[in-house]
């Protein structure tokens, strides 16, 4: 999987939009929580692919988070086919939270 830190400017634009998707239980966005593992934006084929996970398999709001990611990308990129894929490998851990995510959690 590609490193979320090494995104093209087009993929960074997708990441910024995904920062509007908040995990309701933690009140931090899915990018800063480290839930998004990979973003690809293919200009030629007009596709956006997002590979992400959830903090736990039993996350009660997991469906809401995935749907919000799908909807926010479709509304911001209406000419693109959006695919949000849920994976469980690698398993998410708190070490994946960005420094900004940690600061946001500390302020809660």
49-68 pLDDT tens trace: 999 999 999 889 999 999 99
Angle subtended at Cα 60 by Cα 59 and Cα 62, rounded to the nearest 5 degrees:
60
Does residue 2 carry a pLDDT above 80?
no
Query: Would you say 61 and 27 are in contact if contact means Cβ atoms under 8 Å apart?
Result: no
User: Closest Cα to residue 15, out of 25, 23, 7?
Assistant: 7
Mean pLDDT along residues 24-34: 94
Which domains, and CATH codes, for the chain? Answer: 9-93 (3.30.300.130)
Q: Where are the alpha helices (DSSP H) in the chain?
A: 9-18, 62-76, 99-106
In this structure, the strands spanning 81-86 and 47-52 are parallel
* Count of residues making up the chain: 108
Contact 3, 36 (CB under 8 A): no
pLDDT reported for residue 1: 41
- What the block records as the tokens of 58 is 């039993």
Determine the Cα angle at 18 with ends 16 and 21, to 5°.
130
């Amino acid at each position: 999987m590609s490193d979320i830190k090494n995104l093209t400017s087009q993929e960074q634009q997708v990441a910024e939009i995904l920062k509007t998707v908040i995990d309701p239980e933690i009140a931090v966005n899915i990018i800063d929580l480290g839930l998004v593992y990979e973003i690809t934006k293919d200009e030629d084929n007009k596709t956006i692919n997002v590979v992400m996970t959830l903090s736990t398999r039993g996350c009660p709001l997991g469906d809401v988070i995935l749907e919000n990611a799908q909807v926010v990308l479709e509304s911001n990129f209406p000419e693109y086919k959006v695919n949000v894929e849920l994976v469980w490998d690698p398993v998410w851990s708190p070490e994946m939270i960005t420094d900004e995510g940690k600061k946001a959690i500390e302020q809660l």
